Amino acid sequence: MARMIKRSKALAVRPLKTGQPTGAALAFQGIRDAIPLLHGSQGCTAFTKVLFVRHFREPIPLQTTAMDQISTVMGGEENILVGLETLAKNGQARVIGLVTTGLTESQGTDIQRMVARFRREHPKYNDKVHVVPVNTPDFSGCLESGFARAVAALIDTLLPQRPTLVEETPFMKEMPEEICINILPGAHLTPGDVDEVKRYSHAFGLTPLVLPDIATALDGHLPELECSPVSTGGITVEEIHKMRKAKATLVLGSSMEEPARAMEKQTHMPVHRLGGLMGMAATDQLVMLLRQLSERPVPAWIARDRSRLQDAMMDTHFTLSGKRLALSGDPDGLLQWQFLLHEIGMTAPVVVSSTGSHALADSGFDTIKIGDLEDMEDLCRDGTTGVNVDLLLGNSHVATMAKNLDRPMVRYGYPLFDWIGGHTRCRVGYEGTRQSCYELTNALVHGSDPRLPPYHSIYGSV
Protein backbone atom coordinates (compact mmCIF):
# COMPACT_ATOMS: atom_id res chain seq x y z
CA MET A 1 0.00 0.00 0.00
CA ALA A 2 1.33 3.42 -0.95
CA ARG A 3 1.92 6.19 1.57
CA MET A 4 -0.21 9.18 0.58
CA ILE A 5 1.17 12.63 1.47
CA LYS A 6 -1.58 15.25 1.46
CA ARG A 7 -1.23 18.81 0.26
CA SER A 8 0.48 20.98 2.88
CA LYS A 9 0.18 24.47 1.37
CA ALA A 10 -2.74 26.79 0.76
CA LEU A 11 -2.02 27.47 -2.91
CA ALA A 12 -1.03 25.69 -6.10
CA VAL A 13 2.20 26.69 -7.82
CA ARG A 14 2.32 25.47 -11.44
CA PRO A 15 -0.95 23.53 -11.03
CA LEU A 16 -1.14 19.91 -12.09
CA LYS A 17 -4.87 19.37 -11.68
CA THR A 18 -7.43 20.11 -14.38
CA GLY A 19 -10.99 20.65 -13.13
CA GLN A 20 -13.98 18.34 -13.41
CA PRO A 21 -15.93 20.50 -15.93
CA THR A 22 -13.11 19.99 -18.44
CA GLY A 23 -13.36 16.23 -18.01
CA ALA A 24 -17.14 16.30 -18.47
CA ALA A 25 -16.76 18.40 -21.63
CA LEU A 26 -14.30 15.81 -22.95
CA ALA A 27 -16.82 13.00 -22.41
CA PHE A 28 -19.51 14.76 -24.45
CA GLN A 29 -17.09 15.11 -27.37
CA GLY A 30 -17.38 11.34 -27.77
CA ILE A 31 -21.15 11.51 -28.42
CA ARG A 32 -22.24 12.23 -31.99
CA ASP A 33 -24.20 15.46 -32.52
CA ALA A 34 -23.58 16.57 -28.94
CA ILE A 35 -22.51 19.85 -27.39
CA PRO A 36 -21.57 20.64 -23.79
CA LEU A 37 -23.17 23.71 -22.20
CA LEU A 38 -21.03 24.88 -19.28
CA HIS A 39 -23.10 26.71 -16.69
CA GLY A 40 -20.67 29.35 -15.47
CA SER A 41 -18.71 32.39 -16.54
CA GLN A 42 -17.30 32.78 -20.03
CA GLY A 43 -13.78 32.28 -18.71
CA CYS A 44 -14.54 28.72 -17.54
CA THR A 45 -15.59 27.68 -21.03
CA ALA A 46 -12.77 29.62 -22.69
CA PHE A 47 -10.16 27.79 -20.60
CA THR A 48 -11.59 24.38 -21.51
CA LYS A 49 -11.86 25.26 -25.18
CA VAL A 50 -8.30 26.59 -25.41
CA LEU A 51 -6.91 23.55 -23.60
CA PHE A 52 -8.61 21.09 -25.96
CA VAL A 53 -7.90 23.06 -29.13
CA ARG A 54 -4.19 23.20 -28.26
CA HIS A 55 -4.15 19.51 -27.31
CA PHE A 56 -6.20 17.96 -30.15
CA ARG A 57 -5.64 20.72 -32.74
CA GLU A 58 -9.28 20.36 -33.77
CA PRO A 59 -12.35 22.62 -33.48
CA ILE A 60 -14.11 21.84 -30.20
CA PRO A 61 -17.87 22.55 -29.85
CA LEU A 62 -18.57 24.24 -26.50
CA GLN A 63 -21.16 26.71 -25.27
CA THR A 64 -21.61 28.71 -22.07
CA THR A 65 -24.45 30.27 -20.09
CA ALA A 66 -22.21 33.35 -19.66
CA MET A 67 -22.86 34.12 -16.01
CA ASP A 68 -22.03 37.72 -15.07
CA GLN A 69 -22.01 39.68 -11.80
CA ILE A 70 -25.79 40.17 -11.74
CA SER A 71 -26.77 36.59 -12.56
CA THR A 72 -24.20 35.30 -10.08
CA VAL A 73 -25.83 37.23 -7.24
CA MET A 74 -29.48 37.09 -8.32
CA GLY A 75 -29.44 33.59 -9.81
CA GLY A 76 -28.70 32.28 -13.31
CA GLU A 77 -31.76 30.13 -13.95
CA GLU A 78 -32.85 32.20 -16.94
CA ASN A 79 -29.38 31.80 -18.44
CA ILE A 80 -29.86 28.03 -18.40
CA LEU A 81 -33.31 28.14 -19.99
CA VAL A 82 -32.25 30.56 -22.71
CA GLY A 83 -29.09 28.56 -23.43
CA LEU A 84 -30.93 25.24 -23.70
CA GLU A 85 -33.63 26.72 -25.92
CA THR A 86 -31.06 28.32 -28.23
CA LEU A 87 -29.16 25.06 -28.70
CA ALA A 88 -32.33 22.97 -29.10
CA LYS A 89 -33.85 25.44 -31.57
CA ASN A 90 -30.95 25.06 -34.01
CA GLY A 91 -31.96 21.45 -34.56
CA GLN A 92 -28.44 20.06 -34.96
CA ALA A 93 -27.75 18.99 -31.37
CA ARG A 94 -29.25 15.68 -30.27
CA VAL A 95 -27.51 15.66 -26.88
CA ILE A 96 -26.83 18.71 -24.71
CA GLY A 97 -24.60 18.22 -21.71
CA LEU A 98 -25.48 20.73 -18.98
CA VAL A 99 -22.27 20.93 -16.94
CA THR A 100 -21.85 22.95 -13.76
CA THR A 101 -18.67 24.78 -12.73
CA GLY A 102 -17.17 25.92 -9.45
CA LEU A 103 -19.08 29.21 -9.62
CA THR A 104 -22.54 27.69 -10.02
CA GLU A 105 -21.85 24.83 -7.61
CA SER A 106 -20.93 27.39 -4.95
CA GLN A 107 -24.14 29.20 -5.83
CA GLY A 108 -26.12 25.99 -5.26
CA THR A 109 -27.80 25.71 -8.66
CA ASP A 110 -30.21 22.76 -8.97
CA ILE A 111 -29.64 21.79 -12.61
CA GLN A 112 -31.89 18.71 -12.42
CA ARG A 113 -34.82 20.96 -11.51
CA MET A 114 -33.92 23.35 -14.32
CA VAL A 115 -33.87 20.53 -16.87
CA ALA A 116 -37.31 19.39 -15.68
CA ARG A 117 -38.58 22.97 -15.98
CA PHE A 118 -37.18 23.24 -19.50
CA ARG A 119 -39.03 20.06 -20.44
CA ARG A 120 -42.30 21.43 -19.09
CA GLU A 121 -41.99 24.82 -20.77
CA HIS A 122 -40.70 23.46 -24.11
CA PRO A 123 -42.35 20.04 -24.67
CA LYS A 124 -41.75 20.23 -28.42
CA TYR A 125 -38.06 19.44 -27.85
CA ASN A 126 -38.64 16.39 -25.62
CA ASP A 127 -38.39 13.89 -28.48
CA LYS A 128 -35.65 15.75 -30.34
CA VAL A 129 -33.01 16.68 -27.78
CA HIS A 130 -31.67 14.82 -24.76
CA VAL A 131 -30.45 17.12 -21.97
CA VAL A 132 -27.93 15.44 -19.65
CA PRO A 133 -27.27 17.32 -16.36
CA VAL A 134 -23.87 16.75 -14.70
CA ASN A 135 -22.68 18.20 -11.39
CA THR A 136 -18.93 18.86 -11.66
CA PRO A 137 -17.60 21.27 -9.02
CA ASP A 138 -14.10 22.58 -9.70
CA PHE A 139 -13.13 22.42 -6.05
CA SER A 140 -13.13 18.61 -5.87
CA GLY A 141 -11.95 15.78 -8.09
CA CYS A 142 -10.02 16.18 -11.33
CA LEU A 143 -10.41 15.71 -15.09
CA GLU A 144 -10.82 11.94 -14.70
CA SER A 145 -13.59 12.17 -12.10
CA GLY A 146 -15.46 14.82 -14.13
CA PHE A 147 -15.25 12.56 -17.18
CA ALA A 148 -16.61 9.64 -15.16
CA ARG A 149 -19.50 11.71 -13.77
CA ALA A 150 -20.52 12.70 -17.28
CA VAL A 151 -20.48 9.08 -18.48
CA ALA A 152 -22.59 8.01 -15.49
CA ALA A 153 -25.08 10.80 -16.26
CA LEU A 154 -25.23 9.71 -19.92
CA ILE A 155 -26.04 6.15 -18.85
CA ASP A 156 -28.75 7.30 -16.43
CA THR A 157 -30.33 9.62 -19.01
CA LEU A 158 -29.96 7.82 -22.35
CA LEU A 159 -29.89 4.12 -21.48
CA PRO A 160 -33.37 2.72 -20.79
CA GLN A 161 -33.46 0.49 -17.74
CA ARG A 162 -33.48 -3.20 -18.48
CA PRO A 163 -35.87 -5.52 -16.60
CA THR A 164 -34.53 -7.93 -14.01
CA LEU A 165 -32.96 -11.19 -15.12
CA VAL A 166 -36.04 -13.22 -14.16
CA GLU A 167 -38.38 -11.10 -16.27
CA GLU A 168 -36.07 -10.83 -19.28
CA THR A 169 -35.71 -14.53 -20.12
CA PRO A 170 -37.84 -14.30 -23.30
CA PHE A 171 -35.93 -11.21 -24.34
CA MET A 172 -32.59 -12.95 -23.89
CA LYS A 173 -33.61 -15.59 -26.44
CA GLU A 174 -33.89 -12.84 -29.08
CA MET A 175 -30.25 -11.82 -29.00
CA PRO A 176 -29.02 -10.03 -32.13
CA GLU A 177 -26.83 -11.90 -34.60
CA GLU A 178 -23.80 -9.78 -33.77
CA ILE A 179 -22.30 -10.11 -30.31
CA CYS A 180 -21.88 -6.66 -28.81
CA ILE A 181 -19.83 -5.65 -25.80
CA ASN A 182 -19.96 -2.33 -24.01
CA ILE A 183 -16.70 -0.51 -23.31
CA LEU A 184 -16.45 2.36 -20.83
CA PRO A 185 -12.95 3.87 -21.29
CA GLY A 186 -11.46 6.24 -18.73
CA ALA A 187 -10.22 9.74 -19.49
CA HIS A 188 -6.59 8.56 -19.29
CA LEU A 189 -6.98 6.72 -22.61
CA THR A 190 -6.19 8.60 -25.82
CA PRO A 191 -8.15 8.26 -29.08
CA GLY A 192 -5.35 5.96 -30.24
CA ASP A 193 -5.74 3.81 -27.12
CA VAL A 194 -9.51 3.49 -27.56
CA ASP A 195 -9.05 2.62 -31.23
CA GLU A 196 -6.63 -0.17 -30.27
CA VAL A 197 -9.12 -1.64 -27.77
CA LYS A 198 -11.77 -1.61 -30.50
CA ARG A 199 -9.35 -3.36 -32.86
CA TYR A 200 -8.79 -6.11 -30.30
CA SER A 201 -12.56 -6.52 -29.90
CA HIS A 202 -13.16 -6.78 -33.64
CA ALA A 203 -10.41 -9.40 -33.88
CA PHE A 204 -12.49 -11.70 -31.67
CA GLY A 205 -15.67 -11.10 -33.68
CA LEU A 206 -17.16 -8.75 -31.08
CA THR A 207 -18.83 -5.43 -31.91
CA PRO A 208 -17.65 -2.78 -29.43
CA LEU A 209 -20.04 -0.06 -28.27
CA VAL A 210 -17.77 2.55 -26.69
CA LEU A 211 -19.20 5.22 -24.39
CA PRO A 212 -17.87 7.80 -25.04
CA ASP A 213 -16.10 7.00 -28.30
CA ILE A 214 -13.39 9.64 -28.64
CA ALA A 215 -11.58 7.37 -31.13
CA THR A 216 -13.97 8.45 -33.89
CA ALA A 217 -14.51 11.99 -32.62
CA LEU A 218 -11.07 13.35 -31.73
CA ASP A 219 -8.83 11.20 -33.92
CA GLY A 220 -7.96 14.05 -36.30
CA HIS A 221 -10.30 13.29 -39.21
CA LEU A 222 -11.57 15.84 -41.72
CA PRO A 223 -15.35 16.28 -41.24
CA GLU A 224 -17.78 16.44 -44.15
CA LEU A 225 -18.91 19.92 -43.14
CA GLU A 226 -16.34 22.69 -43.05
CA CYS A 227 -17.70 23.92 -39.74
CA SER A 228 -20.03 22.04 -37.41
CA PRO A 229 -21.54 23.47 -34.20
CA VAL A 230 -21.79 19.96 -32.70
CA SER A 231 -19.46 16.98 -32.40
CA THR A 232 -18.79 15.22 -35.70
CA GLY A 233 -17.95 11.74 -34.43
CA GLY A 234 -18.50 9.40 -31.54
CA ILE A 235 -21.22 6.97 -30.53
CA THR A 236 -24.77 7.72 -31.65
CA VAL A 237 -27.86 7.87 -29.44
CA GLU A 238 -29.22 4.76 -31.18
CA GLU A 239 -26.03 2.85 -30.39
CA ILE A 240 -26.29 3.90 -26.74
CA HIS A 241 -29.82 2.46 -26.64
CA LYS A 242 -28.40 -0.72 -28.16
CA MET A 243 -25.96 -1.10 -25.25
CA ARG A 244 -28.67 -2.71 -23.11
CA LYS A 245 -28.54 -5.79 -25.39
CA ALA A 246 -24.78 -6.29 -25.11
CA LYS A 247 -23.26 -9.47 -23.72
CA ALA A 248 -21.06 -7.74 -21.13
CA THR A 249 -19.48 -4.43 -20.18
CA LEU A 250 -15.75 -3.71 -19.93
CA VAL A 251 -14.78 -0.85 -17.62
CA LEU A 252 -11.29 0.54 -18.25
CA GLY A 253 -9.89 2.47 -15.30
CA SER A 254 -10.60 2.67 -11.58
CA SER A 255 -12.04 6.19 -11.96
CA MET A 256 -14.96 4.70 -13.95
CA GLU A 257 -16.49 2.97 -10.94
CA GLU A 258 -19.53 5.28 -10.87
CA PRO A 259 -20.42 4.57 -14.54
CA ALA A 260 -19.83 0.86 -13.87
CA ARG A 261 -22.38 0.87 -11.05
CA ALA A 262 -24.81 2.85 -13.22
CA MET A 263 -24.45 0.27 -16.00
CA GLU A 264 -25.07 -2.59 -13.57
CA LYS A 265 -28.19 -0.84 -12.28
CA GLN A 266 -29.60 -0.07 -15.73
CA THR A 267 -28.79 -3.35 -17.52
CA HIS A 268 -28.15 -6.10 -14.91
CA MET A 269 -25.43 -7.48 -17.17
CA PRO A 270 -21.93 -8.72 -16.19
CA VAL A 271 -19.46 -5.86 -15.69
CA HIS A 272 -15.73 -6.59 -15.91
CA ARG A 273 -13.36 -4.03 -14.40
CA LEU A 274 -9.83 -3.65 -15.81
CA GLY A 275 -7.41 -1.36 -14.01
CA GLY A 276 -5.12 -0.59 -16.94
CA LEU A 277 -3.99 -1.89 -20.32
CA MET A 278 -0.26 -1.08 -20.32
CA GLY A 279 2.13 -3.95 -19.81
CA MET A 280 2.05 -7.61 -20.74
CA ALA A 281 0.05 -8.88 -17.77
CA ALA A 282 -2.66 -6.23 -18.15
CA THR A 283 -3.02 -6.92 -21.87
CA ASP A 284 -3.07 -10.67 -21.21
CA GLN A 285 -6.04 -10.08 -18.92
CA LEU A 286 -7.88 -8.18 -21.67
CA VAL A 287 -7.14 -10.82 -24.30
CA MET A 288 -8.28 -13.69 -22.08
CA LEU A 289 -11.49 -11.82 -21.25
CA LEU A 290 -12.26 -11.21 -24.93
CA ARG A 291 -11.47 -14.86 -25.66
CA GLN A 292 -13.90 -15.93 -22.95
CA LEU A 293 -16.69 -13.62 -24.15
CA SER A 294 -16.32 -14.52 -27.82
CA GLU A 295 -15.50 -18.23 -27.34
CA ARG A 296 -12.93 -17.88 -30.10
CA PRO A 297 -9.18 -18.60 -30.14
CA VAL A 298 -6.67 -15.78 -29.91
CA PRO A 299 -5.95 -14.38 -33.40
CA ALA A 300 -2.49 -15.02 -34.78
CA TRP A 301 -1.59 -11.33 -35.09
CA ILE A 302 -2.27 -10.74 -31.39
CA ALA A 303 -0.01 -13.65 -30.44
CA ARG A 304 2.61 -12.22 -32.79
CA ASP A 305 2.34 -8.80 -31.11
CA ARG A 306 2.90 -10.44 -27.72
CA SER A 307 6.05 -12.12 -28.99
CA ARG A 308 7.31 -8.77 -30.31
CA LEU A 309 6.71 -7.17 -26.91
CA GLN A 310 8.74 -9.90 -25.21
CA ASP A 311 11.61 -9.24 -27.61
CA ALA A 312 11.37 -5.47 -27.04
CA MET A 313 11.52 -5.95 -23.27
CA MET A 314 14.71 -7.97 -23.64
CA ASP A 315 16.22 -5.42 -26.04
CA THR A 316 15.54 -2.49 -23.70
CA HIS A 317 16.24 -4.28 -20.42
CA PHE A 318 19.82 -3.10 -19.96
CA THR A 319 18.87 0.55 -20.46
CA LEU A 320 15.64 0.64 -18.45
CA SER A 321 16.29 -1.70 -15.54
CA GLY A 322 17.03 0.15 -12.32
CA LYS A 323 16.32 3.62 -13.71
CA ARG A 324 14.45 6.10 -11.50
CA LEU A 325 11.41 8.04 -12.71
CA ALA A 326 9.52 11.13 -11.64
CA LEU A 327 5.88 10.67 -12.57
CA SER A 328 2.98 13.16 -12.47
CA GLY A 329 -0.66 13.08 -13.54
CA ASP A 330 -4.16 11.95 -12.59
CA PRO A 331 -4.69 8.67 -10.68
CA ASP A 332 -5.61 6.34 -13.58
CA GLY A 333 -2.77 7.64 -15.73
CA LEU A 334 -0.29 6.98 -12.91
CA LEU A 335 -1.67 3.50 -12.26
CA GLN A 336 -1.42 2.53 -15.91
CA TRP A 337 2.27 3.45 -16.01
CA GLN A 338 2.86 1.61 -12.74
CA PHE A 339 1.85 -1.71 -14.36
CA LEU A 340 4.50 -1.27 -17.06
CA LEU A 341 7.26 0.07 -14.80
CA HIS A 342 6.95 -2.98 -12.56
CA GLU A 343 7.48 -5.33 -15.52
CA ILE A 344 10.52 -3.56 -16.96
CA GLY A 345 12.31 -3.04 -13.65
CA MET A 346 12.03 0.74 -13.33
CA THR A 347 11.23 2.51 -10.05
CA ALA A 348 9.31 5.73 -9.39
CA PRO A 349 10.64 7.41 -6.23
CA VAL A 350 8.81 10.64 -7.17
CA VAL A 351 5.07 10.33 -7.84
CA VAL A 352 2.84 13.40 -7.75
CA SER A 353 -0.91 13.05 -8.27
CA SER A 354 -3.49 15.76 -8.86
CA THR A 355 -5.85 14.07 -6.39
CA GLY A 356 -6.08 10.93 -4.32
CA SER A 357 -8.04 7.73 -4.90
CA HIS A 358 -8.51 4.35 -3.22
CA ALA A 359 -6.92 2.56 -6.17
CA LEU A 360 -3.89 4.83 -5.99
CA ALA A 361 -3.52 4.18 -2.27
CA ASP A 362 -3.53 0.42 -2.97
CA SER A 363 -0.98 0.71 -5.79
CA GLY A 364 2.59 -0.52 -5.86
CA PHE A 365 4.10 2.95 -5.51
CA ASP A 366 6.00 3.61 -2.28
CA THR A 367 5.04 7.26 -1.75
CA ILE A 368 2.56 9.50 -3.55
CA LYS A 369 2.41 13.25 -3.09
CA ILE A 370 -0.92 15.01 -3.68
CA GLY A 371 0.28 18.32 -5.03
CA ASP A 372 1.48 20.36 -7.99
CA LEU A 373 4.49 20.65 -10.27
CA GLU A 374 6.42 22.73 -7.74
CA ASP A 375 6.16 19.80 -5.34
CA MET A 376 7.37 17.49 -8.08
CA GLU A 377 10.47 19.60 -8.79
CA ASP A 378 11.28 19.88 -5.08
CA LEU A 379 11.08 16.10 -4.71
CA CYS A 380 13.33 15.62 -7.74
CA ARG A 381 16.07 17.70 -6.13
CA ASP A 382 18.06 16.12 -3.35
CA GLY A 383 19.95 18.49 -1.08
CA THR A 384 23.06 16.33 -0.97
CA THR A 385 23.24 14.46 -4.27
CA GLY A 386 21.48 16.85 -6.65
CA VAL A 387 18.80 15.51 -9.00
CA ASN A 388 17.76 12.03 -7.90
CA VAL A 389 15.81 10.85 -10.97
CA ASP A 390 16.83 9.79 -14.47
CA LEU A 391 13.64 10.55 -16.41
CA LEU A 392 10.47 12.63 -16.04
CA LEU A 393 6.96 11.70 -17.22
CA GLY A 394 4.14 14.21 -17.47
CA ASN A 395 2.28 16.71 -19.63
CA SER A 396 3.77 19.59 -21.59
CA HIS A 397 4.05 21.75 -18.47
CA VAL A 398 6.74 19.36 -17.19
CA ALA A 399 9.01 20.24 -20.13
CA THR A 400 10.32 23.40 -18.45
CA MET A 401 11.08 21.44 -15.30
CA ALA A 402 12.94 18.79 -17.29
CA LYS A 403 15.07 21.51 -18.85
CA ASN A 404 15.84 23.04 -15.46
CA LEU A 405 16.81 19.64 -14.05
CA ASP A 406 18.73 18.68 -17.21
CA ARG A 407 16.81 15.43 -17.50
CA PRO A 408 14.93 13.87 -20.45
CA MET A 409 11.16 13.50 -20.35
CA VAL A 410 8.36 11.50 -21.96
CA ARG A 411 5.10 13.33 -22.56
CA TYR A 412 1.66 11.96 -21.73
CA GLY A 413 -1.64 13.22 -20.32
CA TYR A 414 -3.37 16.60 -20.71
CA PRO A 415 -2.39 18.95 -22.20
CA LEU A 416 0.21 18.13 -24.88
CA PHE A 417 0.53 21.42 -26.71
CA ASP A 418 4.20 21.13 -27.74
CA TRP A 419 4.15 17.61 -29.19
CA ILE A 420 2.34 17.15 -32.50
CA GLY A 421 0.30 13.95 -32.60
CA GLY A 422 0.67 13.23 -28.91
CA HIS A 423 -3.08 12.84 -28.48
CA THR A 424 -3.16 9.99 -31.02
CA ARG A 425 -0.31 8.03 -29.42
CA CYS A 426 -1.28 4.47 -28.49
CA ARG A 427 0.29 3.08 -25.31
CA VAL A 428 -2.05 0.15 -24.59
CA GLY A 429 -2.05 -3.41 -25.81
CA TYR A 430 1.05 -5.35 -26.77
CA GLU A 431 2.12 -3.01 -29.57
CA GLY A 432 1.41 0.16 -27.59
CA THR A 433 3.45 -1.18 -24.66
CA ARG A 434 6.25 -2.11 -27.03
CA GLN A 435 6.42 1.39 -28.46
CA SER A 436 6.38 2.85 -24.93
CA CYS A 437 9.42 0.72 -24.03
CA TYR A 438 11.23 2.05 -27.08
CA GLU A 439 10.25 5.63 -26.26
CA LEU A 440 11.51 5.36 -22.68
CA THR A 441 14.78 3.84 -23.87
CA ASN A 442 15.43 6.42 -26.56
CA ALA A 443 14.61 9.25 -24.16
CA LEU A 444 17.25 7.96 -21.74
CA VAL A 445 19.85 7.32 -24.44
CA HIS A 446 19.44 10.57 -26.38
CA GLY A 447 17.85 12.86 -23.81
CA SER A 448 21.15 14.04 -22.38
CA ASP A 449 24.76 13.83 -23.47
CA PRO A 450 26.39 10.93 -21.57
CA ARG A 451 29.92 12.11 -22.39
CA LEU A 452 32.02 14.15 -20.00
CA PRO A 453 32.26 17.85 -20.90
CA PRO A 454 35.58 18.81 -22.55
CA TYR A 455 38.26 20.24 -20.27
CA HIS A 456 39.41 23.76 -21.12
CA SER A 457 42.67 24.68 -19.39
CA ILE A 458 42.96 28.14 -17.87
CA TYR A 459 46.36 28.36 -19.57
CA GLY A 460 44.96 27.68 -23.02
CA SER A 461 43.90 31.30 -23.55
CA VAL A 462 47.21 32.80 -22.42
Question: Is the domain of 203 the same as that of 270?
Answer: yes
- Please report whether residue 461 resides in a domain: no
The C-alpha atoms of residue 24 and residue 148 are separated, in whole angstroms, by 7
How many independent structural domains does the chain possess? 3
Question: Is the domain of 289 the same as that of 312?
Answer: no
Please, what are the averages of pLDDT over each run of 10 residues along the chain (462 residues)? Answer: 85 92 96 95 92 93 91 86 92 93 90 94 92 94 96 93 48 61 97 97 97 93 78 93 94 96 93 94 97 96 97 95 95 95 94 93 92 93 74 94 92 92 93 97 80 68 58
- Please report whether residue 351 resides in a domain: yes
The residues, any chain, with a CB within 8 Å of residue 65's CB and separated by 6 or more, are 37, 38, 39, 40, 76, 79, 80, 82, 83
Confidence at residue 448, expressed as pLDDT on a 0 to 100 scale: 59
Question: Is the domain of 279 the same as that of 319?
Answer: no
Question: Is the domain of 244 the same as that of 128?
Answer: no
Helix and strand element counts for the chain (H, E): 18, 16
Average per-residue pLDDT in the chain? 90
- Please report whether residue 208 resides in a domain: yes
Question: Is the domain of 265 the same as that of 370?
Answer: no
- Please report whether residue 204 resides in a domain: yes
Question: Is the domain of 290 the same as that of 324?
Answer: no
Element (H, E) at 406: none
- Please report whether residue 15 resides in a domain: no
Of the three residues 302, 333, 366, the one that is the final residue of a domain is 302
Phi, psi of 393 (to 5 degrees): -125, 130
- CATH number of the domain at 85, please: 3.40.50.1980
Question: Which residue type is seen at 199?
Answer: R
Question: Is the domain of 310 the same as that of 438?
Answer: yes
Question: Is the domain of 125 the same as that of 205?
Answer: no
* Cα–Cα distance list, 131 to 15, 149, 313, 342, 400 (Å): 32, 15, 48, 43, 41
The C-alpha atoms of residue 387 and residue 370 are separated, in whole angstroms, by 20
The C-alpha atoms of residue 117 and residue 128 are separated, in whole angstroms, by 16
Question: Is the domain of 201 the same as that of 257?
Answer: yes
Contact 17, 394 (CB under 8 A): no
Contact 38, 52 (CB under 8 A): no
Confidence at residue 170, expressed as pLDDT on a 0 to 100 scale: 45
- Please report whether residue 246 resides in a domain: yes
Give start and end residues of each alpha helix (H) in 210-256.
237-242
- Please report whether residue 78 resides in a domain: yes
Contact 376, 401 (CB under 8 A): yes
Sign of torsion over alpha carbons 340, 213, 414, 256: negative
Question: Is the domain of 34 the same as that of 135?
Answer: yes
- Please report whether residue 10 resides in a domain: no
Confidence at residue 458, expressed as pLDDT on a 0 to 100 scale: 76
Question: Is the domain of 295 the same as that of 312?
Answer: no
Confidence at residue 354, expressed as pLDDT on a 0 to 100 scale: 94
Residue range(s) defining the domain that contains residue 182? 177-217+228-302
Q: Give per-residue pLDDT as tens, 154-180.
A: 999 998 765 544 344 444 444 456 899
Nearest to 144 by CA among 44, 261, 59, 259: 259
Question: Is the domain of 297 the same as that of 311?
Answer: no
